[in-house]
Amino acid sequence: MTTAEKLNSVVAKEVVEGLSKKNKSLPSWLFYDEEGDKIFQQIMAMPEYYLTDCEYEIFQEQKSAILKSFSADSPEFNLIEFGAGDGLKTEILLKHFTSEEINFTYRPVDISASVLKQLKKRMQKSLPTLAIDPINKEYFEALDELNEDRKNPVIVLFLGANIGNFHISDAELFVKKIADNLREGDKLMIGFDLKKDPNLILDAYYDKAGITTEFNMNLLRRLNREFSANFDTDTFIHYPYYDPQTGTAKSFIVSKIEQDIHFADLEKSFHFKAWEPIHVEFSQKFDHEMIENLATKADLKVQQYFYDSKNYFADVLLSK
């Protein structure tokens, strides 16, 4: 790629924009390159990261009730999943639906073709009879699929607290956009991490083994790899915090020293003052009022809450 081509690439655009601002920021989807995907799988397996276990338990314990709700209006439906990741949790539901001989197609959405390819390969191995038809598109473009001529209702899945990565106003926009594309009988299930003991929440983003720190530092290393930048991760620290008043967990990468970071491929440099932060992630925690508010703003009805046994997490079914 020439310099101009790289500058034009989406990542380059986001990076230049984010690092040029007075309050530096980078979008959290930048975490997830091949290396980041691997570290995120380690995060999901750590004892502090309760979110994965909670949603796993919800699906394991309540798969029959979930299926009952999904098929309340129509015995046949299609599933569209945004942000499927490795699909391990969703697989519990898919397995159950398959064994109950439900006629459905599973359509995971991702902008990464390689992620989808891997997911499809894995699913075909573990669930050979599953009809899987990936959608290799960006989230908003994928919503067009909902407008197609179709006879069966669609159930949109947005699980794993992924919604928490949006700023609340963007979450409202996203849910509204989905809702506007739903028809009567369609449903939307969203995974929300709930407000709880702030110490537990902070621990989930600040693990003792330093895996989350590695996850954050990989973002800098990714920029070194992709743009020949010269971030020295020893000169940065990872700083997460949780504000129990707003329910927002934020993650920062902070420069310990004054320095210029040069992106050779982009022919650009960015100045960091000592202790200047880059905001890299939101992980919003919700309460019932916030969930109801999100639904109301999108003109959706809250149909059912599915909780884990500790009430840490909720998968919420919404309908038109």
Residues in region 213-232 near ligand AVJ by CB under 6 A: 215
Q: Round to whole Å and give the CA distance between 37 and 97.
A: 27
Specify whether the CB–CB gap between 282 and 246 falls below 8 A.
no
Min dist. Cβ of residue 283 to ligand AVJ (A): 3
Q: If binding is defined by CB under 6 A, does position 87 make contact with ligand AVJ?
A: no
Phi-psi region of 4 (alpha: psi -120 to 50; beta: other; left: phi over 0): alpha
Min dist. Cβ of residue 263 to ligand AVJ (A): 24
Min dist. Cβ of residue 51 to ligand AVJ (A): 6
SS3 assignment, position 131: strand
* Tokens found for residue 89: 């949790």
Nearest residue to ligand AVJ, by Cβ distance, number only: 283
Q: What are phi and psi of 87, to 5 degrees?
A: 70, 10
Among 7, 12, 51, 298, binds ligand AVJ (CB under 6 A): 51
* Tokens found for residue 232: 């020295």
Give the number of residues in contact with ligand AVJ, rule: CB under 6 A.
Answer: 12
Q: Which CB sits closer to ligand AVJ, 83 or 153?
A: 83
Q: If binding is defined by CB under 6 A, does position 164 make contact with ligand AVJ?
A: yes
Q: If binding is defined by CB under 6 A, does position 314 make contact with ligand AVJ?
A: no
Among 165, 181, 230, 248, binds ligand AVJ (CB under 6 A): 165
Q: Round to whole Å and give the CA distance between 216 and 243.
A: 20
Q: Round to whole Å and give the CA distance between 104 and 209.
A: 41
Residues in region 116-135 near ligand AVJ by CB under 6 A: none
Q: If binding is defined by CB under 6 A, does position 247 make contact with ligand AVJ?
A: no
Min dist. Cβ of residue 193 to ligand AVJ (A): 7
Min dist. Cβ of residue 189 to ligand AVJ (A): 15
Q: Which residue has the tokens 């992980």?
A: 283
Nearest by Cα to 263 from 233, 221, 228:
228
Q: Which CB sits closer to ligand AVJ, 105 or 307?
A: 307
Min dist. Cβ of residue 165 to ligand AVJ (A): 4
Please spell the DSSP secondary structure of 30-76, one letter per residue. GG-SHHHHHHHHHHHHSTT-HHHHHHHHHHHHHHHHHHHHHTSS-S-
**Torsion sign across C-alpha atoms 122, 124, 130, 131:** positive
Among 43, 94, 171, 194, binds ligand AVJ (CB under 6 A): 43
Q: What are phi and psi of 252, to 5 degrees?
A: -125, 150
Q: Which window, 72-80, 109-117, 160-168, 269-277, contacts ligand AVJ (CB under 6 A)?
A: 160-168
Q: Round to whole Å and give the CA distance between 85 and 219.
A: 18
Q: Round to whole Å and give the CA distance between 86 and 105.
A: 18
Q: Which window, 56-64, 94-102, 158-166, 222-230, contacts ligand AVJ (CB under 6 A)?
A: 158-166
For the chain, the distance separating the N- and C-terminal CA atoms, rounded to the nearest angstrom, is: 46
Q: What are phi and psi of 33, to 5 degrees?
A: -95, -170
Among 212, 259, 304, 319, binds ligand AVJ (CB under 6 A): 212
Q: What is the contact mask toward ligand AVJ in residues 259 to 298, using x (rule: CB under 6 A)? A: ----------------------x-x---------------
Q: Which window, 120-128, 162-170, 171-179, 217-225, contacts ligand AVJ (CB under 6 A)?
A: 162-170
Q: Which CB sits closer to ligand AVJ, 71 or 248?
A: 248
Q: Which residues bind ligand AVJ (CB under 6 A)?
A: 43, 51, 160-162, 164-165, 205, 212, 215, 281, 283
